[in-house]
Amino acid sequence: MLTVSLKDHQYEIIVKKGCLEEAGDFLAKIWQPQRVAIITDDRVAPLYEEKVRQAVTTAGFEVVTHVVPEGEASKSLAEAEKIYAFLAESGFTRSDGVIALGGGVIGDLAAFAASTYMRGIHFIQIPTTLLAQVDSSIGGKTAVNTSNAKNLVGTFSQPDRVLIDTDVLETLEIRRVREGIAEIIKSAAIADLALWHYLENLKDETDLLAHAQYVIIETLKVKQKVVEEDEFDNGNRLILNFGHTIGHAIEKTAGYGVVSHGEGVALGMLAINQHAEKQGLTPAGSTLALKAMIEKFHLPTSTEQWDEVALFEAITHDKKARGNNLKLILLETIGKAKIHTVPIEELKNYLHKEAL
């Protein structure tokens, strides 16, 4: 168990095999009897909704469920409005709560809706993908996409608890496992050399899943430390964006859901690091090390298909842009990141299609 301690809020992260069946007991320790809405998608619902609903109902809560279509397209203001309507029609007040049961899309969407419904009701995260377990379910960032950019509209709102059941990874398709591994690689690269060496000693995705609990906990420790130091993303929390500025643009220009978040981040990390290495801003050989790690877990490394002009246009609309400059995250060395400010125009140099 990890505890995230912030200035005005503290919550526990439980990482335990089979903890879905204990969801009701965990809720009863932090919430009074109340209405609870499970927000999930049409892929996760047949797998885990009944198990969670029964556990929470048995613990004395009144439970209703709202199901949205699977996929990135659901992370929208339109779907958030449907959740508002569902909560209102179900009689939810500020004393009631939400369970986000699903991957990163559901985690962001449900938390965004909870944080804005009646100016905010409480919620917990039960992430069912590796990506959500190691990244998006903690830290308090909630958001939806718009036609302009990914995560453009959002809030900072912390969950009351995060429950991570490693058993759910058994039903995860391999592409979704890999997208979570991209964030694990990122976390090791920016802040944990020991975790990087641990990943180097793993053979492949199957081997990583066999050691999932340890890898998830160590990855979460990276984000926990950064979030505790910079809850509202005004300073060092930016290091968590390594690879994301380009990664988000790749997702947007390809069409959300065509390129996964993890695939975009993998390509973004390589593109950023390769140009930085040529400029002497990151150690020689770090790009090859990063590429070897990414390839071992069968994530993409080729930039042949991307459109440099479209990517640049997407990035200039990105919320990370500040005036005429952009803050990029580079590796000071494997295991330590730094923030590097560049003029927006210079970013074009990072987008050139080159052999990696």
Does one domain contain both 95 and 163? yes
Dump the DSSP string for 39-54.
Answer: EEETTTIIIIIHHHHH
Whole-number Å distance between alpha carbons of 255 and 252: 5
pLDDT in tens, 123-141: 999 999 999 999 999 999 9
Could you tell me which of 293, 297, 311, 313 has the C-alpha nearest to residue 356?
293
Could you tell me which of 22, 11, 10, 2 has the C-alpha nearest to residue 165?
22
Predicted confidence band at 356 (pLDDT cuts at 50, 70, 90)? low
Q: Give the structural domain span for 324.
A: 174-350
Does one domain contain both 113 and 186? no
- Answer yes or no: is 356 within a domain: no
pLDDT at 299 over 90: yes
CATH code, domain with 34: 3.40.50.1970
Of all residues in the chain, the percent with pLDDT exceeding 90 is 86
Does one domain contain both 308 and 324? yes
Does one domain contain both 202 and 322? yes
Q: How many residues does the chain have?
A: 356
Q: Between β-strands 153-156 and 141-144, what pairing exists: parallel, antiparallel or unpaired?
A: antiparallel
Whole-number Å distance between alpha carbons of 143 and 74: 12
- Answer yes or no: is 56 within a domain: yes
Whole-number Å distance between alpha carbons of 103 and 97: 19
Does one domain contain both 163 and 180? no
pLDDT at position 188: 98
Whole-number Å distance between alpha carbons of 102 and 315: 28
- Answer yes or no: is 69 within a domain: yes
pLDDT at position 316: 86
Q: Find all residues with CB under 8 Å of 213, minimum gap 6, and list them.
A: 15, 17, 166
Encoded tokens for 126: 């039960």
